[in-house]
Amino acid sequence: MTRVKEFNLPDLGEGLTEGEILTWLVKVGDTIELNQPIVEVETAKAAVEIPAKWGGVVTRIFHDAGTTVEVGKPIISIDTDPGAGPLPSAESLAAVTIAPAEGMVEPGLIGGPAPGGRTAVLVGYGPREGAAVRRPRRGTSHTSPTAPAGPPPAAATASTVVAPPVGPVAPATVPPVTAGAPAPAHVLAKPPVRKLARDLGVDLGTVPGTGPLGSVTRDDVHRIAEGRTEPAANAPTPATAVRPGPAGDREQRIPVKGVRKLTAENMVASAFTAPHVTEFLTVDVTRTVKTVERLRLRPEFAELRVSPLLLVAKAVLLAIRRHPMVNAAWSGATNEIVVKEYVNLGIAAATDRGLIVPNVKDAGRLTLCELAASLHALVRTAKSGKTSPSDMSGGTFSITNVGVFGIDTGTPILPPGESAILALGVIRPTPWVHHGKIKIRQVTTLGLSFDHRIIDGELGSRFLRDVGDFLTDPEEAMLAWS
């Protein structure tokens, strides 16, 4: 078993196919321990730190920061037994891994080199003594200075058998390599890659190799064939960098990947799959604001972030208990409506990498204090970019707080697999009729988008009205509905 092990990029959650390397936490030559974080990777759902699978010394890092790597591809190699002596030199590894040039006999085949300097022959015939010879390429004519006089054997009428030359040989003129011609022997590339280069008319001698020991890979050939420029050798351009548009244009082109790419795909799928309906309700939340202020003074909430969003979340959970069909999903595969008896409450969070919607698992079973602690931890983790993929999967109902940006309300798009999402608008001091008189009250507007295949207008209206009634007087509602 080899002491140097390659660590492949693992599947970081729910079938993700690729990840972008954000930061390497180790470098070549570092001694690392088992389960030590070695790299930070951003997937389509979150940025996570990956621990080492083995302890040892880092011998190679395959990809620079900013590179997008497919799941299952190697990202780092680790010498798991550094005390066993030095590793084989690069020259000895190259002697094993260099692919044969076009037309040469591959090692291990009949007439080709075998381990130990022998020549591979048919089983039972013993090793061939002396140097192996091969026929030249068709169309060439060489004369051996040691070849016997007389006509060649009948089996050699098409080409002459050439033995190793004796004595000095005049240097041959090497013709220039053109596109589509066989690549020089010193170019490291496997036979399938060489064939691909010939088929595409690519000169392997002009292709910068990015594979092991500088070998040319299929991706390198395709990149040149498609006219894409390779990254600079000493200054790789991060994949997340903003690159300017054509000269003279005032444009920027930002690669769409990671969280933003998945969000775009999900929103398009949801918008054109579920028939959306949005309803709005403007409510007086003055008592909600006062309740939040009193909660902040209580010792059990002293270390927590208490905001009107906490009471909106509680209002949603109690309203779902009264209208369970709102917490459901449409199953096109089985032609069923799946009503969930648990609420994984999602809270939309804007981060530097895009919009994510982590959720509080089984939020309906939490007390108000436990819910406040969960929301506080969820938002803090999301802002730091450390939300795990598991925290963003399995949501059943979501809330988006557009009020923090000073927006009155909106028409949110459903997260895939959910039947409703609530938008909370900004809370403003507003003239309001209260007990028959116009007074300045704290007022907000709620927007509820729902899947009309599951929730009809009556159910959506009753649910939104219950949320509004709770926020009008949360303390009385909690006593009556709990």
Long-range (24+ apart) CB contacts under 8 A made by 58-64 are 58/26, 58/27, 58/28, 58/29, 58/30, 58/32, 59/4, 59/28, 59/87, 60/28, 61/24, 61/27, 61/28, 63/21, 64/21, 64/236, 64/238
Quick check: 7 and 31 in contact, CB under 8 A?
no
| C-alpha to C-alpha distance for 356 and 391, rounded to whole angstroms | 10
Question: Which 3 state secondary structure label does DSSP give 125?
Answer: coil
Cβ burial of 167 (10 Å; 0-12, 13-18, 19+) is exposed
> Distance of CA 113 to CAs 131, 137, 169, 187, 464, Å?
10, 19, 24, 20, 79
Q: Which of 402, 423, 427 lies closest to 308, judged by CA?
A: 427
- Report CA-CA distances (Å) from 163 to 104, 134, 198, 295: 15, 8, 30, 95
Strand 397-401 relative to strand 420-424: parallel, antiparallel, unpaired? parallel
Residue 452 annotated among the catalytic residues of the structure:
yes
CA torsion through residues 118, 122, 124, 130, sign: negative
Residue of 276, 323, 376, 452 marked active site: 452
Catalytic residues: 452
